[in-house]
Amino acid sequence: MPELRKDPIIGCWVIIATERAKRPNDFKPEKDAIVGNGSCPFCEGNEKLTPPEVDADRSSATVDSPGWLTRTVPNKYPALENSTSLDKSSSGMFDVMKGVGLHEVIIESPDHDKQLADLSVDQIKRVIAVYKRRSLILGKDERFKYVLIFKNYGLAAGASLEHSHTQLISLPIIPRRVIGELEGMKRYFDQKKKCVFCDMIEQESKEGKRQICENDDFYAFCPFASRSPFEICIAPKKHQHAFTDISEGQIDSFAKILKDILMRIKVLLDNPPYNFIIHTSSLNGNTNELCHWHVELMPKLTKIAGFEWGTGFYINSTPPELASECLREVSV
């Protein structure tokens, strides 16, 4: 009998298939190669092919030239653009505003052939430090309400360039799912005077059946109401509302667990396309203290997104207990 499970934060229901559950080998991740035009704009030596850099790990005092470990540039094809005013307006019942925002690309390594999972822990630490640095800088801009950090790996997950990179968008609005989470966290807090994420980590640790791995500072598990097969959540063990509050020590732990998790899905699921998103507090909301930042990581294994888009109703063919068991058993 399938199960209907309620997401303890958002409140939506997910159908979890319990019979004929899909195991890792039942998925055939898409392997479309991303076709480049021969010269990758993210490779060392091609710095002139991108807009001027806004951040870089370099030992020398040069800019837009070789000799960097990470490099951050404005997106050449931004989803949102820099402008001074939002220019809100209405036409009858329709509200519109200028698509004001900043859209940056964090190039994670000069090496074209290494994906994030392949980088050393030290290099991943540098990448996470850039996430923090750019988030802090963009977060100071009063036009924006949210800084979104996300990564698309693989064509099927929406990546258009092969060279490993993360994207960062500052938004004049808070994304709908983030609002839903913040509201859900507030609802739980109002009722129990505790953080729903802290409680969830405590219950997951006690039960153990959806746990993947942990270290001193972070805990990784497959959520109870996972919407997609092998969905993974990585969260700081101690309550921390904003990603930008991450300490130096935590960056080290975060880099280690992120590499560990990425290697596990790479090995177990045959290098699948994936998306990850850092969910953090909004820049100026009054529910910030209730937020508990975390990473949502979704291997892209299924194709049924259209139906889910239309209904907000998810059918997951791999119970998170099975997913986490498989992920625990991978040796990396």
CA–CA separation, 251 and 126 (whole Å): 9
3-state secondary structure of 125: helix
Residue of 54, 80, 263, 267 interacting with a copy of itself (CB under 8 A): 80
Residue of 99, 114, 126, 215 interacting with a copy of itself (CB under 8 A): 99
CA–CA separation, 79 and 173 (whole Å): 14
- Please, what is the minimum distance in Å from the beta carbon of residue 60 to a copy of itself? 35
Q: Of 163, 165, 241, 294, which one is the catalytic site residue?
A: 165
Q: Using CB under 8 A as the criterion, what x/- string covers residues 154-193 for binding a copy of itself?
A: -xxxx------------xxx-xxxx-x-------------
CA distance to 90, 133, 138, 256, 263, per residue, from 260 (Å) = 48, 23, 29, 6, 5
Q: Is 71 in the site for a copy of itself (CB under 8 A)?
A: no
Tokens of 270: 């045959």
DSSP for 160-227 reads S--S-EEEEEEESS--HHHHHHHHHHHHHHHHHSS-HHHHHHHHHHHH-TTEEEE-SSEEEE--TT-S
Instruction: Pick the stretch among 35-43, 116-124, 130-138, 297-305 that binds a copy of itself (CB under 8 A).
Output: 297-305
- What part of residues 21-60 is at the interface with a copy of itself (CB under 8 A)? none
Instruction: Pick the stretch among 34-42, 214-222, 244-252, 271-279 that binds a copy of itself (CB under 8 A).
Output: 271-279
Q: Using CB under 8 A as the criterion, what x/- string covers residues 228-267 for binding a copy of itself?
A: x---------------------------------------
- What part of residues 303-322 is at the interface with a copy of itself (CB under 8 A)? 303-313, 315
- What is the total count of residues that contact a copy of itself (CB under 8 A)? 76
Residue 165 among the catalytic residues: yes
CA–CA separation, 55 and 134 (whole Å): 8
End-to-end Cα separation, the chain, in angstroms: 34
The catalytic site residues sit at 165
